[in-house]
Amino acid sequence: MTTSMKKTLTIGYDAAVEQLPEALKSEGFGILTQIDVRDTLQAKLGVDFRRYKIFGACNPPLAHRALSAELDVGVMLPCNVVIYEEGDHAVVLAVDPSQTVAAHAEALRPIADEVQARLGRVLERLG
């Protein structure tokens, strides 16, 4: 079982990072956090790593619905979207909420299905 949706893009890393905010916005998400894994690993461990960013995306109405249905779902918020460099193109992954806590919480299933559909459309909008 995989807990993410994945797409290999035809565009490079920089273009993917540039396109992501608008793609998320089109589905009601904003970016709350960005973690530059490459920079963090260099600063903390002195190691080189490929370009790799983790974006914490949030759709406030859906987050509110999820938290109202099940407080423990907060451990899965915000929804992570990852972009990493693979040669001359980028790979993007988004959490698949229907394969996480929602798989075991009936009240969350319809919300997870909606988030999954929205994040799937975000991936489709990217190069």
The count of structural domains within the chain is: 1
* Residue 54 three-state SS: strand
CATH code where residue 38 lies: 3.30.310.70
Question: How does the average pLDDT of the chain come out, rounded?
Answer: 94
How many Å apart are CA 22 and CA 62, to the nearest integer? 18
pLDDT confidence band for 98 (50 / 70 / 90): confident
Would you say 32 and 57 are in contact if contact means Cβ atoms under 8 Å apart?
Answer: yes
pLDDT in tens, 7-46: 999 999 999 999 999 999 999 999 999 999 999 999 999 9
Kindly report whether the global pTM for this prediction surpasses the value 0.85.
yes
Please state, for a pLDDT cut of 90, what percent of the chain lies above it.
85
Predicted pLDDT of residue 103:
65
State which residues form the domain around 37: 4-125
C-alpha pair distances (Å), 24 with each of 46, 47, 55 = 32, 31, 11
